[in-house]
């Protein structure tokens, strides 16, 4: 259904539009994200693991910027807590429509509500697990503090936020090395230099990475007491923040 190969940037494009999560991207998304994000499959599987551990009875688990619902499905298959429900949100209509088909083809029991909306418009309540898996990076940095604070407020004590992001590094030589290693990863996965260069241009001012220190500080400022990285490969990292 969704395993077409990503060749969106394979030929030279006269006009390189800014990257958008439109139908063309939806059609190739599972292939695109696996060949582009080092550790993606591992992170998805571990989100299932973390949800099993942290999901509480009578609570909600949120997947914000769910795309086709990979993290939602991983959680759905692992949550054992009674009366727990999943809320998966994305503001791309094309993504949510395809995610509905993905969810309908899955028979696990935990109820899933799919919401097509800007995640900033969604109330976060009675949450035990909130996932932002490579989503915050697409949101205006000026909005990020407010989003993380709202999530903190909506979590129950002992609840967690899992935040995965493409990150930047303050040390320029290290930053350049990580970018190069990421591009090598993409090349090894079959992307040409032209594909890598064109997508990089399309992502400029759309995907805005911040240093890990900024993410840590934002999470601490919001009130999270325990904040640390649990996964990192090159410039892709995932943090877990726990509400005391
Ligand atoms: N303001 C917003 N509100 C809601 N959704 C948004 C917003 N901004 C962007 N999105 C959505 O966030 C998703 C980011 S992809 C997440 C992968 C997924 N988490 C996965 O685990 O497979 C990451 C990537 O492609 O690198 C897209 O589906 C956007 O439509
Ligand atoms: O492809 C890249 O360079 C990325 O940084 C990751 C990515 C993956 C899927 C959509 C947008 C960005």
Decide: 166 in ligand 2 pocket, CB within 6 A: yes
Ligand index nearest the alpha carbon of residue 144: 1
Mean pLDDT on 47-67: 98
Q: For ligand 1, atom 29, which residue shows the shortest CA distance?
A: 65
**Cβ neighbours, 10 Å, residue 218:** 21
Decide: 167 in ligand 2 pocket, CB within 6 A: no
Q: In which band, very low, low, confident or very high, does the pLDDT at 165 lie, cut at 50, 70 and 90?
A: very high
CATH domain 40-168+207-243 topology:
Rossmann fold (3.40.50)
Q: In which band, very low, low, confident or very high, does the pLDDT at 134 lie, cut at 50, 70 and 90?
A: very high
Decide: 135 in ligand 1 pocket, CB within 6 A: yes
pLDDT tens digits, 89-110? 999 999 999 999 999 999 999 9
CA 103 to chain centre: 18
Q: What length is written for the chain?
A: 244
- Torsion of Cα atoms, 215 then 79 then 40 then 129, to 10°: -10
ipTM over 0.90: yes
User: Which atom of ligand 2 lies closest to the CA of 19?
Assistant: 11
Decide: 32 in ligand 2 pocket, CB within 6 A: yes
Q: Where are the domains of the chain?
A: 40-168+207-243
User: Which parts are annotated binding residues for S-adenosyl-L-methionine?
Assistant: 40, 65-67, 90-91, 118-119, 133, 200
Ligand index nearest the alpha carbon of residue 166: 2
Decide: 36 in ligand 2 pocket, CB within 6 A: yes
- Per residue, the 3-state secondary structure of 40-80, as one string, reads HHHHHHHHHHHHHHHCCCCCEEEEECCCCCHHHHHHHCCCC
- DSSP state for residue 126 in the 8-state scheme: S
Asked whether residue 2 carries a pLDDT value surpassing 70, the answer given is no
Cα separations in angstroms, 27 against 2, 8, 23, 82, 191:
6, 10, 6, 35, 17
pLDDT tens digits, 60-87? 999 999 999 999 999 999 999 999 999 9
C-alpha 18/C-alpha 28 separation (Å) is 17
C-alpha 52/C-alpha 32 separation (Å) is 27
Going from the Cα of 90 to the center of ligand 1, the distance in angstroms, rounded, reads 6
Asked whether residue 133 carries a pLDDT value surpassing 60, the answer given is yes
Q: Is the pTM of this model over 0.95?
A: yes
Do residues 101 and 76 make contact, with C-beta atoms less than 8 angstroms apart?
no
Q: For ligand 1, atom 11, which residue shows the shortest CA distance?
A: 65
Element (H, E) at 162: strand 155-168
Q: What is the chain's mean pLDDT, rounded? A: 98
- CA nearest 40: which of 212, 193, 189, 140? 189
Ligand index nearest the alpha carbon of residue 68: 1
Classify strands 127-133 and 60-64 as parallel, antiparallel or unpaired. Answer: parallel
């Amino acid at each position: 259904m969704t395993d077409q190969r990503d060749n969106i940037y394979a030929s030279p494009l006269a006009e390189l539009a800014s990257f958008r999560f439109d139908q063309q991207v939806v059609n190739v998304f599972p292939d695109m994200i696996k060949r582009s994000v080092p550790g993606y499959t591992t992170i998805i599987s571990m989100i299932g693991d973390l949800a099993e551990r942290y999901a509480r009875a009578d609570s909600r688990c949120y997947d914000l910027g769910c795309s086709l619902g990979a993290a939602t499905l991983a959680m759905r298959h692992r949550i054992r807590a009674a009366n727990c429900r999943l809320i998966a949100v994305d503001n791309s209509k094309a993504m949510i429509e395809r995610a509905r088909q993905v969810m309908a083809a899955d028979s696990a029991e935990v109820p899933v509500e799919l919401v097509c909306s800007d995640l900033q418009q969604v109330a976060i309540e009675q949450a035990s697990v909130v996932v932002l898996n490579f989503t915050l990076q697409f949101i205006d940095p000026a909005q990020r503090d407010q989003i993380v604070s709202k999530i903190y407020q909506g979590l129950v004590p002992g609840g967690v936020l899992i935040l995965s992001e493409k990150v930047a590094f303050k040390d320029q030589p290290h930053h350049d090395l990580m970018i190069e290693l990421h591009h090598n990863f993409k090349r090894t996965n079959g992307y040409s230099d032209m594909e890598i260069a064109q997508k990089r241009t399309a992502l400029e001012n759309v995907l805005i990475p911040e240093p890990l220190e900024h993410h840590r500080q934002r999470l601490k400022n919001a009130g999270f007491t325990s904040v640390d990285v649990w996964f990192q490969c090159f410039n892709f990292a995932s943090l877990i923040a726990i509400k005391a």
